[in-house]
């Protein structure tokens, strides 16, 4: 992984059209590529490209469309008809969100019984390999890769970007073609249920720099959800975002094929294409600076002991505080402009303390941490119900570091819930309005408020009024059917 980071760091980058200050990769710089799969370890065999797939087809950077065409291999007639029909209805939905594919490729869709429900795209010869029992979301992921032709990525941001695009496409397909539900069995419960509702709690500064660390010690698990939520919020602000972004990214591929796009080019494309775009009523790049799953620049790294707190909100009011904790140490090796990170999962016993909304200690406990994660995974703690619904403070002290988090104790997080927490004030009124017409005012008591609103995606305006009549206003783009905001009350002057 360090080798991967150093190789990427050695590249200088650009995008087309030219953006001021961008360079291009040096001709002698090595290019990163994925390691070959070990068939003996995985049990997966891959289709031999020889005589089947092709290299990239023609593409004009200024072309209006670069259509993909599909041929099918090794399927029985009924099997081919089913997967062909699925691709036929998925393709136009992907065109709506992504625009034209990068290349006018012929893609072979080949049955591969060794991969079960998976579908995998091989960009070296434009083959989608799918198991006989393929799952719809996996086919969509492979189609996204075929659209973009994955011989490059966006400093690992393509993973959460693609995850949101696949999730959006799957939901659109189910809305338009309910009979497809059987091809998505298990996906929603396993991955998407309440997918972004806890984003305000996941947006933690210790995420900064995760993309320089890569997949060390389940980092994909840590970063994937908040980074994916970032793209959901951007898409709600500008539905043409992915189409415009990919059009510029494809022009960049023309100059620097097989290269990994760094954050600087990603951010420069946004500056060039969306100079006036507001996300949650803030300029997009200013807003991105405070979304810690998307780093601010290419060489940002921060040494120290890091922790990541993942709350687990019950679907109904319970007297439990439940969460996961990840803990690691980041050390920097090398000097700018080519620093890299060494990540070490930590083990030990943390001191855990719970506080009421007004700072009174409720209880303390030991929290074992083993190999970088709270021992046994999820930690649950029962708190006295007599305290009533309120904002709970959680303090974790570990290896000399103290981290503080919040938890909505006894909040009813039912479908459509828009309730959450306030900090900076414990009592008052919260007016909740959405761009879909919902408008409700509820009481804030002990730092918590509850409301049930629309389940569809919505832009929410929270306006809090404290007992002195001072107000603060907060915008949240909600993709899931519920959202649990964490709102800092800073009275407007």
Q: Note whether 459 and 365 are same-domain residues.
A: no
* Residue 410 in this model has a pLDDT that exceeds 90: no
Query: Which among 387, 409, 431 is the end of a domain?
Result: 409
Asked, for residue 348, whether it belongs to a domain, the answer is yes
Q: Considering the chain, what percentage of its residues have pLDDT values greater than 70? A: 77
**Same domain, residue pair 315 and 334:** yes
Q: Is residue 241 part of a domain?
A: no
Query: Are residues 463 and 402 both part of a single domain?
Result: no
Predicted confidence (pLDDT) per residue in 413-468, tens digit? 677 889 999 999 999 999 999 999 999 999 999 999 999 998 888 999 999 999 99
Rounded distance, CA 343 to CA 11, Å?
22
Asked whether residue 341 falls in the same domain as residue 366, the answer is: yes
Does residue 236 fall inside a structural domain? no
Do residues 401 and 429 share a domain?
Answer: no
| 331 beta partners | 342
Provide the 8-state DSSP code for 332: E
Residue 405 lies in a domain: yes
Phi, psi dihedrals of residue 109, rounded to the nearest 5°: -105, 105
Within a domain: residue 205?
A: no
Mean pLDDT, range 378-393, rounded to an integer: 84
Tell me whether residue 354 is in a domain: yes
Based on the fold, state whether residues 362 and 328 are members of the same structural domain.
yes
Domain limit, last residue, from 350, 374, 409: 409
Give me the chain's average pLDDT, please: 80
Q: What is the pLDDT of residues 260-317, one digit of tens each?
A: 788 888 889 999 999 999 999 999 999 999 998 887 776 677 788 999 898 887 756 6
Percent of the chain with pLDDT over 90: 47
For residue 387, count CB atoms less than 10 angstroms from its CB and return exposed for 0-12, middle for 13-18, buried for 19 or more: middle
- Residue 475, in any domain of the structure: yes
pLDDT band for position 189 (cuts 50, 70, 90): very low
**pLDDT tier, 1 (very low <50, low <70, confident <90, very high otherwise):** very low
Match 């206003």 to its residue by tokens. Answer: 473
160, 164, 410, 374: CA torsion to nearest 10: -20
Residue 404 sits in a domain whose CATH number is: 2.60.40.1930
The values of phi and psi at residue 239, to 5°, are -60, -20
Predicted confidence (pLDDT) at residue 140 exceeds the cutoff of 50 = yes
β-bridge pairing 320-333 and 304-312: antiparallel
Question: Looking at residue 49, what is its pLDDT?
Answer: 59
404 & 311 share domain: yes
Residue with the larger pLDDT of the pair 129 and 34: 129
Residue 348 belongs to domain spanning: 304-409
Question: Does the residue 71 lie in any domain?
Answer: no
Domains held by the chain: number: 2
Rounded to 5 degrees, what are φ and ψ at 58? -70, 150
Q: How far apart, in Å, are the Cα atoms of 26 and each of 1, 160, 166, 377, 386? A: 22, 28, 34, 45, 66
Query: Within this chain, do residues 309 and 402 fall inside the same structural domain, yes or no?
Result: yes
Q: How confident is the model at residue 43 (pLDDT cuts 50, 70, 90)?
A: low
Q: Identify the band that residue 372 occupies on the pLDDT scale cut at 50, 70 and 90.
A: confident
What CATH number does the domain containing 469 carry? 2.60.40
The average pLDDT across 73-102 equals 95
Instruction: Write down the pLDDT at residue 282.
Output: 95
What span, in angstroms and rounded, lies between the C-alpha atoms of 137 and 384? 42
Per-residue pLDDT, 6: 26
* Residues listed for the chain: 493
Query: What contacts 440, CB < 8 A, 6 or more positions away?
Result: 431, 432, 451, 453
pLDDT in tens, 219-260: 556 777 888 899 999 999 999 999 999 888 888 877 887 777
The pLDDT value recorded for residue 186 is 59
Q: What is the DSSP string of 68-128?
A: -EEEEES--HHHHHHHHHHHHHHHHHHHHHH-S-SS--EEEEEE-GGGTT-EEEETTTTEE
**What is the band of 214 on the pLDDT scale with cuts at 50, 70, 90?**
very low
**Mean pLDDT lowest among 105-114, 219-228, 322-331, 408-417:** 219-228
Last residue of a domain, one of 370, 389, 409: 409
> Is residue 64's pLDDT more than 70?
no
pLDDT digits (tens, 9 = 90+) for 14-33: 222 323 333 343 333 333 33
- Tokens for 21? 């200050």
Supply the pLDDT for residue 9: 27
């Amino acid at each position: 992984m360090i080798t991967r980071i150093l190789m990427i760091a050695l590249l200088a980058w650009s995008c087309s059209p030219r953006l001021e200050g961008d360079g291009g990769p040096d001709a002698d710089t090595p290019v990163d590529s994925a390691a070959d799969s070990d068939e003996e370890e995985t049990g997966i065999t891959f289709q031999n490209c020889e005589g089947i797939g092709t290299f990239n087809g023609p593409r004009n950077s200024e072309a209006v469309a670069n259509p993909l065409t599909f041929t099918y291999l090794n399927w029985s007639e009924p099997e081919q008809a089913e997967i062909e029909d699925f691709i036929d209805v998925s393709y136009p939905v992907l065109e709506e969100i992504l625009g034209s594919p990068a290349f006018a490729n012929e893609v072979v869709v080949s049955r591969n019984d060794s991969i079960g429900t998976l579908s995998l795209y091989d960009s070296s010869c434009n083959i989608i390999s799918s198991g006989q029992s393929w799952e719809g979301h996996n086919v969509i992921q492979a189609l996204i890769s075929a659209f973009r032709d994955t011989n490059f990525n966006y400093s690992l941001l393509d993973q959460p970007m693609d995850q949101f695009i696949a999730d959006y496409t799957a939901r659109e397909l189910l809305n338009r073609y309910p009979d497809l539900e059987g091809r998505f069995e298990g996906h929603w419960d396993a991955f998407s249920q309440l997918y972004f509702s806890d984003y305000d709690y996941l947006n933690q500064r210790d995420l900064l720099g995760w993309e320089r660390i890569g997949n060390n010690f389940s980092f994909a698990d840590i970063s994937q959800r908040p980074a994916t939520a970032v793209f959901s919020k951007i898409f709600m602000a500008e539905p043409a975002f992915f189409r415009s972004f990919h059009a510029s990214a494809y022009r960049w591929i023309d100059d620097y094929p097989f290269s990994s796009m760094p954050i600087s080019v990603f951010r420069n494309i946004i500056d060039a294409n969306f100079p006036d775009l507001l996300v949650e009523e803030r300029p997009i790049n200013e807003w991105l600076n405070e979304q810690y799953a998307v780093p601010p620049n290419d060489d940002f790294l921060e040494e120290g002991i890091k922790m990541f707190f993942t709350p687990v909100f019950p679907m109904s009011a319970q007297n439990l505080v439940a969460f996961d904790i990840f803990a690691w140490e980041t050390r920097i090796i090398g000097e700018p402009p080519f620093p890299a990170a060494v990540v070490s999962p930590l083990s030990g016993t943390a001191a855990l303390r719970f506080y009421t909304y007004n700072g009174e200690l409720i209880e303390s406990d030991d929290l074992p941490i083993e190999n970088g994660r709270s021992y046994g995974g999820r930690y649950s703690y029962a708190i006295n119900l007599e305290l009533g619904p309120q904002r709970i403070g959680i303090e974790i002290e570990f290896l000399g570091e103290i981290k503080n988090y919040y938890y909505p104790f006894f909040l009813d997080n039912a479908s459509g819930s828009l309730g959450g927490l306030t900090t900076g004030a414990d009592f008052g009124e919260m007016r909740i309005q959405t761009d879909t017409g919902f408008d409700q005012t509820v009481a804030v008591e002990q730092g918590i408020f509850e409301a049930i609103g629309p389940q569809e995606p919505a832009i929410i305006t929270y306006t809090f009024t404290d007992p002195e009549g001072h107000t603060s206003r907060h915008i949240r783009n909600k993709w899931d059917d519920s959202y649990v905001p964490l709102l800092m009350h800073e009275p407007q002057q």
